[in-house]
Amino acid sequence: MPTIFVLAGFLLAATPAFAHPSELAIHTMEELCQGGRAEGSYELKLAGAGVLRLHLLCTAPGALIATGFVEPDGEPFSLIHAAIDGDTISFVSFHPGADEAPSMGGIGGPMVRLRFSLSSLGASQIKGTYQGPQTKFPLRVAGARAEAFPPCGGGAPGPSAEGYYEITQAPAKGSLKIGGVIGLEVIGGIQRIFLIGGEDFGASLYNGLAGEVAGNSFCASVGIDDDEHGRGPILGVRGTLGKEGEINFSYFSTRHGMQGSFIAKRH
């Protein structure tokens, strides 16, 4: 615990140089994304309503989203908006800004909403509530992170990973196969990733890192149109450029979580 000092009527706290995450005050989504504190997969039991398979992803510095589904037969949801009120972080399917509220329609009933303790999430724990279209009242949820994710960005300074690569190594049960192609381009100042996995798989990931700060790392995901009200899955890729023109990366989907690692060689 921090040592407390009283000096001239002021209360001062001496914070250890390497405090445990649970001892750190979390105020912003940037802090949640630093060091992968919140990112990862969580399995949360819903009283009488199944299991919530939830993934939290930092899609860019300070951009934390929630995606998942309720077992056994729930449809995937993706909440790309988040707001912080005190020690509560809310993940929602609508823009939470006050200026946008007058132009938002609300007919059709509530969609999925998640409200968690910010300080608990900073320690890789979830404490809060889940509310979905079939729940009358919010359901309490709590649980520890089951799996951490590799970082989105944070690579070393160096040459850009832009280019096209052919997958040479892949997990046996991975969604991407050997011989598939991953293309990385910077368009409009941000990374865009294009996946061609074979005859039955392809995806365009338009929501990527700013190219000028990415260094040798790359990270992008699909977006979710606000008009869809959070319905739909997230796909994503994150990795780094290595030696001899090879990239090492992981692939994410709402249904299957994080897969990897994959290795691809520059074409």
CB atoms within 10 A of CB 50: 15
More confident residue, 206 or 34: 206
Percent pLDDT > 70 in the chain is 84
Report the pLDDT averaged over residues 124-144.
Answer: 92
SS3 165: strand
Q: Is pLDDT above 70 for 9?
A: no
Mean pLDDT (the chain) is 83
SS3 234: coil
Which is nearest to 161 in space by CA: 246, 236, 235, 222?
246
Cα–Cα distance measured from residue 253 to residue 251, given in angstroms and rounded to the nearest whole number: 7
Q: Is pLDDT above 70 for 226?
A: no
| Structural domains for the chain | 10-147 (2.40.128), 163-266 (2.40.128.120)
Report the pLDDT averaged over residues 100-125.
Answer: 82
Which pLDDT band holds residue 2 (cuts at 50, 70, 90)?
A: very low
Q: Is the Cα dihedral 198, 204, 210, 211 positive or negative?
A: positive
| Beta bridge partners of residue 183, listed in sequence order | 164, 194
pTM: 0.84
Which pLDDT band holds residue 1 (cuts at 50, 70, 90)?
A: very low
DSSP structural state of residue 60: E
Q: pLDDT digit string (tens) for 139-173?
A: 999 999 999 999 888 777 778 899 999 999 999 88
In which element (H, E) is residue 226 found? none
In 84-160, which residue ranges form alpha helices assigned H by DSSP? 118-121
Structure tokens at 75: 């449809």
Phi, psi at 121, each rounded to 5°? -65, -30
| Beta bridge partners of residue 236, listed in sequence order | 221, 252
Q: Is pLDDT above 70 for 43?
A: yes
- The angle formed by the CA atoms of residues 205, 206 and 211, to the nearest 5 degrees, is 110
Q: pLDDT digit string (tens) for 235-265?
A: 999 999 988 889 999 999 999 999 989 999 9
The set of residues, in sequence order, having a beta carbon less than 8 Å from that of 257 and lying 6+ positions away, is 41, 55, 147
pLDDT at 198: 61
SS3 23: helix
Cα–Cα distance measured from residue 245 to residue 243, given in angstroms and rounded to the nearest whole number: 6
pLDDT at 11: 30
Q: Is pLDDT above 50 for 14?
A: no
Q: Is pLDDT above 90 for 10?
A: no
The set of residues, in sequence order, having a beta carbon less than 8 Å from that of 103 and lying 6+ positions away, is none
Q: Is pLDDT above 50 for 72?
A: yes
More confident residue, 133 or 234: 234
Which is nearest to 79 in space by CA: 66, 90, 88, 61?
66
Cα–Cα distance measured from residue 115 to residue 77, given in angstroms and rounded to the nearest whole number: 15
SS3 63: strand
Cα–Cα distance measured from residue 199 to residue 208, given in angstroms and rounded to the nearest whole number: 25
Q: Dihedral through CA 248, CA 251, CA 256, CA 260, nearest 10?
A: 0
In which element (H, E) is residue 238 found? strand 235-241
Structure tokens at 230: 């959070």
Check residue 98 and give left, alpha or beta (phi > 0: left; psi -120 to 50: alpha): alpha
Which pLDDT band holds residue 108 (cuts at 50, 70, 90)?
A: low
Range from 40-49, 91-100, 163-172, 193-202 carrying the lowest mean pLDDT? 193-202
